[in-house]
Amino acid sequence: MTHLALEGVGFVYPDGTRALSEVDLTVTPGEVVAIVGQNGSGKSTLVRQLDGLLRPTEGRVLHDGVDIAGIRVAALAAKVGIVFQNPDRQIFAGRVRTEVEFGPRILGRSANEAAEAATAALAAVGLTELADANPYDLGFSRRKLLTLASVLAMGTQVVVLDEPTTGQDARGVARIQRVVEAIATAGRTVIAISHDMRFVAETFTRVVVMGAGRVLLDGSPADVFAESAWPTLASTYLEPPLAARVGARLGLGPTPTEVSLVEALVEARG
Amino acid sequence: MVVLALRAGVLGQLVRVSLLLTMPIAVSVVLVSVFTRAGTTVLFAIGPFDATVEGVDFAAQTLVRLFAISLSIGLFLMTTDPRAFVFDLERRGVSPRVAFVAVATIEAVPALVERAGVIGESQRARGLDTEGSVRARLRGVLPLIGPVIIGALTDVEERSLALESRAFSRPGRRHLLWAMPDRTWERWLRWALIALLVATAAARISGRI
């Protein structure tokens, strides 16, 4: 299991734009962490440090206590898999199954192992029946699920999801929630960037709020969406999920269940 | 050209970019010209190949021409907003379709570079080794090139549909809401440069230079 640590990480792009400043973050195996923040707050830059796609200009990134500075991305990809936001920036194969098998094959798995991993990953995202389809015949939401499957099949200990719910309907979001839960149950780590506060509140046990390249808040959804944290959320143009706002008004706390919300609303109406 | 680049504040960048662009061709031009050009004055020999003064002279002339072409194109690209250029062409009567193709082509380059960068990151995150052996890099060609081409085609289709939905192909005269600022001295300079170009071409054809 991979223990991730960022120690005093800063990052400045070649054009001089500072994206990260003094980020200290530790993620233990099996954690389910959401990273939220306004556009340009450094979320994507942060996750790209985890597998060496970007290297910190200050500080260091550790995998199990080992500085990854000298380790190639191709080697780090065996531990950290990233599902990017736009599926069309990844898909290249003419067949869904081939696309999913690509990662495991690149990592050195045998053809049989890759096929088995692809079958399991496609089942996890509900694309089993489309295994022989051309990826470009699928709609956007399914292409996103395909890219998720292609990283799941790699069996990495850490799975990073960049805006996984974009373009998904309620059924797609529910499926992604089940996938996240399944990964966590297997003791693997999930880190997701998201602007979908409801998805974050319902799915993740830890929320990191970023603003201007720094970690502003880091805690459970109950801590981060508590009324006392709202000004900090507002400073990075985030709104707590509706349930948290209604829950606060009704005295149910920042993460009420839907049942308790309905009961309280019925009671409030008299 | 040097004066114009200096005036635009891009001289250093222009020289650097032009040198970089001409370097690959320059190396092959020098090798081929110096060692294969027939000549009477041999400077030195490497195996069966003689380096001649005539070859060096020819290579130098070719390099200067290449560098001049590269400087001209570079200066144009660095100092001209492609959209402004194409809109002005359209104002002067060029077909909107031709103008669109021109601007789309110019703007496609940075978009493709950006797209290729993200695709590269995406495939490297799946374990594709773009820093390893030649074999490993060759293995990565399709996963890198495929999404770039497919994405570019999709973009063109989406852009065309978006344009059509805004009556792009409507016949008749268009009214541009923008006009290129064109000062008097700039017009004079333009005509002077055109006259200089014609005079140079004429002198060259007549054998005076």
Interface of B with A in 164-183 (CB under 8 A): none
Chain A interface residues facing chain B, Cβ-Cβ under 8 Å?
A: 48, 51, 53, 72-74, 77-78, 80-82, 84, 86, 88-93, 102-103, 106-107, 136, 150-151, 154
Structural domain spans, chain A: 1-73+194-237, 240-270
pLDDT for residue B100? 79
The answer to whether residue B142 scores a pLDDT higher than 80 is: yes
**Nearest of A143, A161, A211, A149 to residue A50 by alpha carbon:** A161
pLDDT for residue B126? 87
Q: What is the mean pLDDT of residues B50-70?
A: 89
Identity of the residue in B118, B127, B142 whose CB atom sits nearest the CB atom of A106:
B127
pLDDT for residue A81? 94
Residues A158 and A32: their CA atoms lie apart, in Å, by 10
**Nearest of A43, A68, A1 to residue A209 by alpha carbon:** A43
Residue B203 lies in a domain: no
Residue B13 lies in a domain: yes
Residue B158 lies in a domain: yes
Name the phi and psi angles at A194, rounded to 5.
-155, 150
Give the ipTM of the model, two decimals please: 0.78
B19 and B74 both lie in a single domain: yes
Residues A265 and B45: their CA atoms lie apart, in Å, by 95
- Per-residue pLDDT reduced to its tens digit, A111-158: 999 999 999 999 999 999 999 999 999 999 999 999 999 999 999 999
Q: What is the 3-state secondary structure (H, E, C) of chain B?
A: CHHHHHHHCCHHHHHHHHHHHHHHHHHHHHHHHHHHCCCCCEEEEECCEEEEHHHHHHHHHHHHHHHHHHHHHHHHHHHCCHHHHHHHHHHCCCCHHHHHHHHHHHHHHHHHHHHHHHHHHHHHCCCCCCCCCHHHHHHCHHHHHHHHHHHHHHHHHHHHHHHHCCCCCCCCCCCCCCCCCCCHHHHHHHHHHHHHHHHHHHHHHCCCC
Per-residue b or e along A243-254, where b marks 16 or more CB atoms closer than 10 Å to that residue's CB: bbeebbebebeb
Identity of the residue in A72, A92, A154 whose CB atom sits nearest the CB atom of B147:
A92
Q: pLDDT higher for A3 or A248?
A: A3
Q: What is the mean pLDDT of residues A210-219?
A: 95
Give the nearest chain A residue to B115 (CA atoms). Answer: A89
Q: What is the mean pLDDT of residues A3-31?
A: 95
B69 and B98 both lie in a single domain: no
The answer to whether residue A159 scores a pLDDT higher than 90 is: yes
B10 and B62 both lie in a single domain: yes
Of the residues B79, B106, B121, the one at which a domain ends: B79
Of the residues B29, B56, B79, the one at which a domain ends: B79
pLDDT for residue A9? 97
Report the gap between the CA of A229 and the closest CA in chain B (Å).
34
Q: What is the mean pLDDT of residues A201-214?
A: 94
Q: pLDDT higher for B92 or A14?
A: A14
Chain A interface mutation, best of B115, B118, B122, highest count of A Cβ atoms under 10 Å: B122
Could you give the dihedral angle defined by the CA atoms of residues A54, A60, A63 and A68, in that order, rounded to the nearest 10 degrees?
60
Give the nearest chain B residue to A136 (CA atoms). Answer: B150
B106 and B66 both lie in a single domain: no
Contact B9/A at CB under 8 A: no
The answer to whether residue B32 scores a pLDDT higher than 90 is: no
Helix (H/G/I), strand (E/B), else coil: A34:
strand
pLDDT for residue B155? 82
Could you give the dihedral angle defined by the CA atoms of residues A120, A124, A128 and A133, in that order, rounded to the nearest 10 degrees?
-100
Chain B interface mutation, best of A106, A107, A136, A154, highest count of B Cβ atoms under 10 Å: A106
State the maximum Cα–Cα separation within chain A, in Å, rounded to a whole number.
65
Report the gap between the CA of A85 and the closest CA in chain B (Å).
10
User: Would you call B147 and A89 a contact, using CB atoms and an 8 Å cutoff?
Assistant: yes
The answer to whether residue A210 scores a pLDDT higher than 90 is: yes
B40 and B28 both lie in a single domain: yes
Q: Which residue range forms the structural domain that includes residue B127? A: 83-164
pLDDT for residue B163? 81
pLDDT for residue B91? 81
pLDDT for residue B55? 87
Q: pLDDT higher for B137 or B115?
A: B115
The answer to whether residue A90 scores a pLDDT higher than 80 is: yes
Q: How confident is the model at residue A257 (pLDDT cuts 50, 70, 90)?
A: confident
The residue assigned the tokens 């390893």 is B132
The answer to whether residue A260 scores a pLDDT higher than 80 is: no
User: Would you call B127 and A78 a contact, using CB atoms and an 8 Å cutoff?
Assistant: yes
- A230-237 contacts at long range (C-beta below 8 A, 24 or more positions apart): A233/A209, A235/A211, A236/A36, A236/A37, A236/A38, A236/A41, A236/A209, A236/A210, A236/A211, A236/A212, A237/A38
- Mean pLDDT computed over every residue of chain B: 84
Residue B138 lies in a domain: yes
Q: What is the mean pLDDT of residues B158-177?
A: 79
Q: How confident is the model at residue A63 (pLDDT cuts 50, 70, 90)?
A: very high
Topology of the domain comprising A1-73+194-237: Rossmann fold (3.40.50)
Structural domains in chain B (count): 2
User: Would you call B127 and A84 a contact, using CB atoms and an 8 Å cutoff?
Assistant: no
Give the nearest chain B residue to A94 (CA atoms). Answer: B146
Q: pLDDT higher for B173 or B164?
A: B164
User: Would you call A48 and B121 a contact, using CB atoms and an 8 Å cutoff?
Assistant: yes
User: Would you call B131 and A103 a contact, using CB atoms and an 8 Å cutoff?
Assistant: no
CB proximity list for B11: less than 8 A, separation 6 or greater: B2, B5
**Nearest of B129, B146, B107 to residue A88 by alpha carbon:** B146
Residues B181 and B104: their CA atoms lie apart, in Å, by 23
Residue B179 lies in a domain: no
Are A170 and A182 spatial neighbours (Cβ–Cβ below 8 Å)?
no
Per-residue b or e along A97-132, where b marks 16 or more CB atoms closer than 10 Å to that residue's CB: bbbbbbbbbbbebeeebbbebbbebbebbbbeebbe
Of the residues B64, B79, B94, the one at which a domain ends: B79
- Per-residue pLDDT reduced to its tens digit, B9-18: 888 989 888 8
Report the gap between the CA of A93 and the closest CA in chain B (Å).
8
The answer to whether residue A263 scores a pLDDT higher than 90 is: no
Are A47 and A82 spatial neighbours (Cβ–Cβ below 8 Å)?
yes
Residues B54 and B39: their CA atoms lie apart, in Å, by 5
- Per-residue pLDDT reduced to its tens digit, A25-57: 999 999 999 999 999 999 999 999 999 999 999
The answer to whether residue A1 scores a pLDDT higher than 80 is: no
B117 and B73 both lie in a single domain: no
